Amino acid sequence: GMTDLQMLNGEQRYMTQLEVKLIKQSSPIILSGNITKQLGKKIAFSVSLNNLLKDAAFLSAFLEKKLDDKLRQYSLEGEAYLPGVIGVHTIGFLQQREGLWSHGLRIKYGLLGEAKNLHHECSIRQQIKVETGVRGTYKLDIGHEFHCMETPAYNHKVHLKHEASASWLSSQMEVNYGKHWDEKNNKKKLLISQAFKNSSGPSLVNYFMEFTIQVLEKQVNYRTQLQHLHNSQVYLQSSTNFEVQYNDHVPFVAGLQWKDTSRHALKKWEGGLNIDTPWLYLYAALKLHQPQHSAYLLTTELTTGKALSIKNLIVELFYKNEGNEKEGKIHIYTPATTYLQASTFNHLGSNVLHSYSEMISLWNRLVKNEIHLENNERAKFLCFKIKSTKQEFNFTASYQNLPMPKKTNFSVKSTWRDYKSLPITLQFDGQIEELKKEKMLYQKRGTLYFRHPFKLPILQSLLLQETFTVDKKQKHYFLETKVLINGVEEAVQTLTLGYQPENPYICAGLTHPYNYRLFPKDVEICILT
């Protein structure tokens, strides 16, 4: 073995050599290497191996570094050879000049039997440039290239530009690929860009966004745009629009508008929505108006097309709340047809509720409805009416309690009226009445009345009345019961109880309209003691 260190004209050269001889008659295996540090910042080194393989194997590299006020550069050149396996020649560099960074690498190589002949080549190159402006602008420019002779399908070139400031932002990327990646008219190209712009002010919010994709080989051109505007200078208004473009077609458009022109605490809002697609078109408008503090008017307009067709459908809602009075209306219509029109008016007092409603639609004629409810300490009343052009239904229920003379009444009645026939009435009434209240005479009467119009195997009408009398002067109790069936058949039953100490008695009597041989129409039985 041998080592040597030399100094020549400012260079430092270190050399080492190792010889190995396995058999006396054979050539020695020699491994040698040297490292040279040249003037400036250059370093070269090499390693070689002889007499082991078919040919000599070697590895060498040269590194250089350049530095000054504006430039920083690092370069590398190297070679390697392994007989029968691979041969490589590499050149690379890394450079910075102010805000520009550059990087490149080129490799020539041969494999196996062609290891000495470097017929294959691959290269890669990248560049990054950064700029900053005085007003906060920022620019970024990136370039990237890859080329390999053996794989032309993977060759490509990428260029990215990005710019940003306080009010806007934009990016563009271009990708070229395929066999003709470095030609100007290359068809295999991908273009992507995006932009954002902010034009807002003290009383204005204004945004714009755009995104595009182009694939030239596939003839694809896609673009999306979004615009938003909000203005509060005179009154509040806002608009948002979204649009999609595809190959010179517009498959989707949407817009939303809103405006607030309220004054003096009276609300007035207007808004609209429109959507257009290949399958559906939709337009909707909404207005909310407050003509006075207690009233609101809401109007909605709807139009659709293509898959579902609705033309100028308008819905109006009105609501008014003023003290004890509440009013509501709904109107659904088109210029040619009224689908639904309804209104309601409600008055609410301390003990009274009155409601009146009307409704007419495409499927039925005018229908009126009325509800009246009273709730007092001594009187309660409910009335429900519903009426159309041909039919009417009434339902009433009442309760009344009078102090002088003392009387309690209740009634439930329902009537169904068809103008082609007689009305149908179902009724149930009752009464408890104090007829007399004297020192020597007390009399009280209760009445129940029921009738129905149906043909059933039961009574159609029934009147039941009982009168109870206490006569202290004649010293007897008297109970009279009257039954009136179907308005014509009357039966009277009496019961008298005398309580004189010396002569108590009890009598019972019956009067009826039926003809029975064994049971007379008028009979009275008394028991005396």
Residue closest to 366 by CA, chosen among 384, 388, 345, 385? 388
- Whether 22 has a pLDDT exceeding 60, the answer reads no
Per-residue pLDDT tens for 271-313? Answer: 999 999 999 999 999 999 988 888 999 999 999 999 988 889 9
The Cα–Cα gap between 146 and 338 comes to: 70
**Mean of pLDDT values over 463-478:** 93
E strands along 362-488, which residues? 367-375, 379-387, 391-402, 407-418, 424-437, 441-451, 461-471, 476-485
- Whether 395 has a pLDDT exceeding 60, the answer reads yes
Quickly count helices (H) and strands (E) in the chain. Answer: 0, 35
**Mean of pLDDT values over 419-434:** 91
Per-residue pLDDT tens for 82-95? Answer: 888 889 999 999 99
pTM as predicted: 0.65
- Whether 25 has a pLDDT exceeding 60, the answer reads no
- Whether 21 has a pLDDT exceeding 60, the answer reads no
pLDDT at 519: 72
> Could you tell me the pLDDT band of residue 457, with boundaries at 50, 70 and 90?
confident
Which one is predicted more confidently, 70 or 517? Answer: 70
CA 7, 62, 42 angle in degrees (round to 5)? 50
Residue closest to 451 by CA, chosen among 415, 422, 397? 415
pLDDT at 385: 96
> Could you tell me the pLDDT band of residue 102, with boundaries at 50, 70 and 90?
very high
> Could you tell me the pLDDT band of residue 493, with boundaries at 50, 70 and 90?
very high
The Cα–Cα gap between 189 and 173 comes to: 10
Which one is predicted more confidently, 513 or 409? Answer: 409
**Distant-in-sequence, close-in-space partners of 472: CB < 8 Å, separation ≥ 6:** 439, 440, 441
Cβ atoms of 297 and 310 within 8 Å: the answer is no
Q: Which amino acid is at 513?
A: P
pLDDT at 23: 54
pLDDT at 413: 95
- Whether 20 has a pLDDT exceeding 80, the answer reads no
- Whether 373 has a pLDDT exceeding 60, the answer reads yes
pLDDT at 218: 87
Percent of the chain whose predicted confidence (pLDDT) is above 70: 94
The Cα–Cα gap between 371 and 379 comes to: 17
The Cα–Cα gap between 129 and 143 comes to: 9
- Whether 135 has a pLDDT exceeding 90, the answer reads no
Per-residue pLDDT tens for 149-181? Answer: 888 888 899 999 999 988 889 999 999 988 888
pLDDT at 408: 94
**Token digits for 245?**
């473009």
Flag the least confident range among 179-183, 460-464, 475-479.
Answer: 179-183
**Token digits for 285?**
């408008």
